[in-house]
Amino acid sequence: MLIARGVPERSLVLVEYSREFCKLLRARFPAAEIIQGDAYAIGASMPGWVGVDPLEAVVSSLPLFTRPDEMREDVVARSLERMKPAAPFIQFSYAFTQPVKPERIGARLEISPWVKRNLPPARVLVYRSA
């Protein structure tokens, strides 16, 4: 979807934990940077992965509710710290509640309506630096 909307493939940095899925991503998106790693360790790993330039956006489908509050807050907050002001951290969620409370990380949050045609129904949460 990002490429179809005009984002150059060479601008994408994809972080994936599974070695097998990384192989598939490399075959499908040869111009993108594919990193096998743990996105929850983003604070320690991000500079090495993407350099020092601010990120334009983050699109995440991390299963945030499988981790404790501190880890969820850290992955969103650390990403926002590395982004341009007001750049979006986009998270897909199936939960009724927010995975990260924006006030706990000094962020703003926009929440889409439920996408009922998705199974299970989902919504999009967009965190931005305050």
**pLDDT score at 32:** 95
Q: Is residue 24 part of a domain?
A: no
**pLDDT score at 82:** 87
Q: Is residue 20 part of a domain?
A: no
Q: Is the pTM of this model over 0.95?
A: no
**pLDDT score at 47:** 59
Q: Is residue 38 part of a domain?
A: no
- State the burial class of residue 57 (Cβ atoms within 10 Å of its Cβ: 0-12, 13-18, 19+): middle
Q: Is residue 33 part of a domain?
A: no
Sequence-ordered list of residues with C-beta below 8 angstroms from that of 50, at least 6 positions apart, any chain: 13, 33, 82
Q: Name the domain count of the chain.
A: 1
Instruction: List pLDDT tens digits, range 50-63.
Output: 667 788 999 999 99
Query: Which DSSP symbol is given to 105?
Result: H
Q: Is residue 35 part of a domain?
A: no
Asked if the model's pLDDT at residue 37 lies above 80, the reply is yes
Q: Give the residue-averaged pLDDT of 96-111.
A: 96
Instruction: List pLDDT tens digits, range 77-96.
Output: 999 998 998 999 999 999 99
- Classify 13 as helix, strand or coil: strand
The parent domain of residue 79 ranges over 54-129
93 token code pair: 């969620």
